[in-house]
Structure 1
Amino acid sequence: MNAGIIGQAAGLFAVTNIDDIVILALFFAQGAGHLRIVLGQYIGFAGILVVAVAAAFGATFLPGSAVPYLGLLPLALGLKAAWQVWRDRADGGGDDPPARGGPKALEVAAVTFANGGDNIGVYVPVFATSGTSGMTVYVVVFLILVAVWCLAGRFFATRPLIARALSRWGHILLPLVLIGLGMVILVEGGAFGL
């Protein structure tokens, strides 16, 4: 394997997925369900890769005009999480985080896929110009780095200072981040004429 293409793949992954570390840390801070988070991250990222590889070969499963509407996924999940926080407070839960088992794998996958809508636009031309062997290297490196990203998210969620902050405020931050992410995807993509 060419070390240059491996470095390029690692750099491209890091640049296009840096925001995922924050989201992963918030997911990991919710407690149990670490395997579901990793599984969801892989499912969501595999979806991104399938669409990008297919588009590089000329197939388009997702028209460009539909990509901004992927923002509805994290927006809906953020609103659902905010509703849960509000309901827990109304039930007398106070500021303590709800006792939940963490996000479900498909929730993580939906957020990962929606957040990666812009990645697809970056990956397609790179994949299309790198040939089949180069594209294979990119995909393998990306899938390895998903595990590294999950470890980084878990690492940040378990640092004492960050863990205390996420333990206290993560149940509030997660809905805000998801709603914000959804709105950014919708607005930047011009969905609904925004």
Structure 2
Amino acid sequence: MILSSILPAIGLFFLTNIDDIIVLALFFARGAGQRGTTARILGGQYLGFLGILGAAVLVSLGAGAFLPEEAIPYFGLIPLLLGLRVAWQVWRNRDDDDDDDDAKIAGKKVSVLTVAAVTFANGGDNIGVYVPVFLNVGPTAVVAYCAVFLALVVVLVWLAKFVATRRPIAEALERWEHILFPVVLIALGLFILISGGAFGL
């Protein structure tokens, strides 16, 4: 049962998380040159993904009253508000001296909680896919799926770091990250809200 769950779990993980590579690559670009960036991104991705798995397992166990399906689109408010906050900081600091590198680095520090919040908010579709799968397999298979998913989080973060550190991509991200980062977060938030029909959209 466990072995027969591994391949489907791998496929399901990458199918539902491949879009995270772009967001994580932007986090790596934002934290470039800072000590501990990879550890913070990995920690945040794990924290956010544990929240996704926890929600999916609870809903599949019948705890849907705590997380009704119609509440999931409102997760889009998290990246939307984070993106607006970053955009405001970029606009406010637009006239700062380019030589003030220490202030720039301090202002762009990637936090575990920010990565976790964006990961969790972007996981609404994951929850929607995982719940019916978990409902149709036994408890042992659910444990196997969760174990495979958690093991693959490291692979996902490594892939994002690999993408973000390729020379042409790294140079482009370094140049445009301050614009791309808030734009992607705002677009992600709006996409989650609109595609889920939040606020009657």
Q: TM-score range by the shorter chain?
A: over 0.9
1:99 aligns with 2:119: no
Report the AA paired with residue 18 of structure 1. I
Percent identity between the two aligned chains: 57
Q: Deviations over 1:18-66 (max 9, x none)?
A: 1100000000111222211111100000000001011111112211111
Q: How large is the Cα RMSD of the aligned pairs?
A: 1.7
CA distance in 1: counterparts of 2:146 and 2:92, whole angstroms: 42
Residue number in structure 2 paired with 1:192: 199
Q: Secondary structure at the match of 1:29?
A: helix
Gaps of 5+ in 1: none
Residue number in structure 2 paired with 1:34: 38
Report the AA paired with residue 147 of structure 1. V
Gaps of 5+ in 2: none
1:14-33 equivalent positions in 2, closer than 5 A: 14-30=14-30, 31=32, 32=34, 33=37
Residue number in structure 1 paired with 2:58: 54
1:151 aligns with 2:155: no
> Bigger CA drift: 26-35 or 105-114?
26-35
Q: Is the 8 A contact 1:40 1:107 kept in 2?
A: yes
> Bigger CA drift: 169-178 or 56-65?
56-65
Q: Deviations over 1:121-159 (max 9, x none)?
A: 100010111111100110000001111000011111111
CA distance in 1: counterparts of 2:96 and 2:165, whole angstroms: 28
Residue number in structure 1 paired with 2:121: 114
CA distance in 1: counterparts of 2:98 and 2:69, whole angstroms: 43
TM-score (norm 2): 0.91
Aligned length: 193
TM-score (norm 1): 0.94
How far did residue 102 of structure 1 move?
2.8
Structure 1 runs (4+) greater than 4 angstroms displaced? none
Residue number in structure 2 paired with 1:134: 141
